Amino acid sequence: MRLTVFGATGRTGKEVVRQALDAGHQVTAVVRDPARLPISHSALEVVVADVTRASTLRPALAGREAVVSALGPNGRQGVGITSAGVRAIMQAMDAADVRRLAVISAVPVGPVPDGESFLYRSVLLPLLRRILRDGYADLAAMEKEVSRSTTEWTIVRPPRLTDKPLTGTYRRLVGGNVPRGHVISRADLAHALLAVIDDPATIKQVVGVGY
């Protein structure tokens, strides 16, 4: 597959790039600073572009088959980047006639799944939503734009992320969040993002992941 990855210098984005290359895909990584992507491979092309400007993204999408966005809020300075970036990405995808898109959101953006504990439902989740409200508002705006787009989209909602290694044994739920799945590694999240790209059952669906 010819794949373009946005947010490729983030901790999840680097995992997406590494795993996609290991799987034999041709990868275009869109970055602001190439020095922050310490990966070298004959099937990797690194493109420097402003992710919020659709016109600068089109060369990175020409002839590609799918897009993975690993964009996400990165402190207060990053609030708004996810919705603005994904909006520009989808505009560039339309211009380049690329249909398939997988994006990262977060569990607190969606409804509480059945089977959650009283403590999580009543205390922990409301606290998270209050502390990180700006970031989740940005993700919610992104989800809204993606879900009404003409792309063949999949929104992946992970819980708390860790830097533990790939296991491939996480749970996945199409159409909702994983009950009591409160953590997942970035490596397994990257694995899930690449897996949904090849799964027609996840097109125009929200997919929850977690252990």
Q: How many angstroms separate the CA atoms of 27 and 163, rounded?
A: 22
| Average pLDDT score over residue span 25-37 | 96
Q: Please name every residue paired with 157 in a beta bridge, in sequence order, or none if there are none.
A: 208
- Residue 145 is predicted with a pLDDT of 97
Q: How many angstroms separate the CA atoms of 66 and 154, rounded?
A: 11
| Average pLDDT score over residue span 139-158 | 97
- Residue 187 is predicted with a pLDDT of 98
| Average pLDDT score over residue span 62-77 | 84
Quickly state the pLDDT bin for 113 (edges 50, 70, 90): confident
Q: How many angstroms separate the CA atoms of 50 and 57, rounded?
A: 7
What sign does the dihedral 211-202-82-100 (CA atoms) show? positive
Place of tokens 């909602």: 157
Domain locations in the chain as residue ranges: 2-210
- Residue 72 is predicted with a pLDDT of 86
Quickly state the pLDDT bin for 73 (edges 50, 70, 90): confident
- 74 has pLDDT over 70: no
Mean model confidence pLDDT for the chain: 94
Top CATH class of 2-210 equals alpha beta
